Amino acid sequence: VLAIVQAFLLLLGCAPKFQLICGHVYMLAFHYHNKIIWDGEDVMFRLWSFFLLFLPLHRITIYDGFGRLTREEQKKTDTWPIWPFRLWQLELCFIYAGAGFGKLSNERWQNGTAMYYISHEQDFFGGPFTPDFLFNRIGPLKLMTWASALLECTCIVTIWPISTRMITLVSMIGLHLGIELSMNMHCFEWLSILGWIIFLVEPLKES
């Protein structure tokens, strides 16, 4: 109950740093209390809550109109180091490198049948958008299998150059929205989308 109350206060921007620290401690306490009930996305919850501790969230609070500053006020604010964002970005790339190259070493992902087996996994499959022409035909299932593996293996490279960044962001967000519509992966898709949005942060160019 206390965690829910503090999460609501964080949403409002009331002492965000304090709420984040408490939320991270709660996450660790629950995680190590019983590891059986946790899965991979919960590790992302823990990592994301840690990275958020270093972001300038104190500027977006209920007291300052959630960051709606005038141009003159923005000039007066101090800059913020880029390394917390880079740390988050690198962690996301490590996660997808492990996922992508792990798929390449799996025979089902190699021959394109992985999505066929996933579509028959009742624990994970069964979202609001599962049309037969996509999930009941071997051709589209193979294309989705290989496309997913290709995106996860290449995104960790194409996300860094400015010229390919937006294409990569749109592709990865689209991939996870597709997972959200067709599968039951809880909060994994939204955690991933949040991680990719961090790549929109760029260093301030000196005038």
Radius of gyration of the chain (CA): 20
Q: How far is residue 7's CA from residue 198's CA, in Å, rounded to a whole number?
A: 21
pLDDT in tens, 139-180: 989 999 999 999 999 999 999 999 999 999 999 999 999 988
When pLDDT is averaged across residues 178-200 and rounded to a whole number, the result is: 90
The pLDDT, as a whole number, for residue 206 is 57
The pLDDT, as a whole number, for residue 91 is 95
The pLDDT, as a whole number, for residue 30 is 82
When pLDDT is averaged across residues 11-31 and rounded to a whole number, the result is: 86
pLDDT in tens, 36-89: 777 778 888 889 989 998 888 766 666 666 666 555 555 555 577 889 999 999
CA angle 28, 91, 195 (to 5 degrees): 85
β-bridge mates for residue 183, sequence order: 125
Q: How far is residue 110's CA from residue 104's CA, in Å, rounded to a whole number?
A: 6
**Residue 136 identity:** N
pLDDT in tens, 110-141: 999 988 888 877 667 777 787 888 888 889 89
**Residue 39 identity:** D
The pLDDT, as a whole number, for residue 90 is 96
The pLDDT, as a whole number, for residue 66 is 62
